[in-house]
Amino acid sequence: MYDVVIIGASVAGNSVAGIVAKKGYRVLLIEEHKKIGFPSKCTGLVSYRIKELLPELDERIIQNEVNRAEFVFKDKKFELKSKNPMYVLDRVKLDKFLFDRAIAFGTEAKLGEKFIRVEKFTSSYKIFTSNGEYNAKILVGADGAFSQVAKIFNLYEEKEFFIGVQATVDSKFEKDKVELWFGDFAKEFFGWVVPINERYAKIGLATKGDVYSNFKKFLRKRVRKFVQPDTGGIIKFGLIKSSVAERVLLVGDAAMQVKPFSGGGIIYSLIASQLAALAILKALAKNDFSKEFFEENYEKEWKKKLAWPIRKGLFIRKLFYGLGEFSIGFWFSILPYFKFLLERLDVDFY
């Protein structure tokens, strides 16, 4: 019998596993892919807060440091400087770092196993995968935007989502500057250029439309060539009604712990996974696995920190994209006048 079984070995799942296993509990991570971090799904641009949340972060995971952002829409552009540095992370290495840490603390892992279903018993769940069966007191769904765990426990919510693709491109870039491009190639979202150094950058976009042809259009506009994408993923956001059930918690993308405007999820996932782990440790100590316990000790706690920023992000999205390119053009004409204020916003909680 495992104390905790976690479906999904990415940032959120690995983080929960490490914290709980460190306290001596029996933890199992189940990941459908055979290699941790693959396929890569994220750009890895994070705020300075990453070092507060992961003080032991291996410096080799940090690929670059940026402090400027250029916003581009048609012939309009403006630039903001960040008061704190932003870090470009190697996303695969970040997943591997958190996974290896969890294993070092005693977590067991099953890679290349697909989660299929669960059966409820009086004091546990039986988890069925493509390769085996496992019993657990607590089940954690860290299995992404289309979480199977969420669907099984009626926690899944249909929300708008965007498909993102990205490639590492060889060209000429300003090492300390991120670029955000808005236009018809990325409706209701944007294209990005995130430099690794002066020669290489992660270039991508997210959209609801034909992502590959729009990606091709964006690349030709920015670097005048096409490169096959090497990274892709789903960006889904909103404020979930409930992220818990009896003996069940959702964390990370499965709980839509994502910034609605930028689509970034690493910082929110780390914040929520630490709170999830604390709630799990309390539940195991008190032998209380009720939905009410997890509502009080996990759901209420993560929403205290993240519900307002998520609501605010959804509101900003409506204002910015509400009337399509007309709205974007309007904001591009007035936002440069508020540069002083914009540069002082906390990028994690705008």
What CATH number does residue 295 fall under?
3.50.50.60
Residue 140's domain comprises 2-58+91-158+238-318
Is 0.85 surpassed by the pTM of this model?
yes
Query: How many whole angstroms separate alpha carbon 149 and alpha carbon 114?
Result: 12
Please give the tally of structural domains in the chain. Answer: 1
Q: Is residue 163 part of a domain?
A: no
- The number of residues in the chain equals 350
Q: Is residue 233 part of a domain?
A: no
Q: Is residue 64 part of a domain?
A: no
Q: Is residue 200 part of a domain?
A: no
Tens of each residue's pLDDT in the chain, 350 residues: 999 999 999 999 999 999 999 999 999 999 999 999 988 888 999 999 999 999 999 999 999 999 999 999 999 999 999 989 999 999 999 999 999 999 999 999 999 999 999 999 999 999 999 999 999 999 999 999 999 999 999 999 999 899 999 999 999 999 999 999 999 999 899 999 999 999 999 999 999 889 999 999 999 999 998 899 888 999 999 999 999 999 999 999 999 999 999 999 999 999 999 999 999 999 999 999 999 999 999 999 999 999 999 999 999 999 999 989 999 999 999 999 998 898 898 888 76
Q: Is residue 188 part of a domain?
A: no
Q: Is residue 38 part of a domain?
A: yes
Q: Which residues contact 203 (CB under 8 A, 6 or more apart)?
A: 166, 167, 168, 169, 191, 192, 193, 194, 218, 219, 222, 223, 227
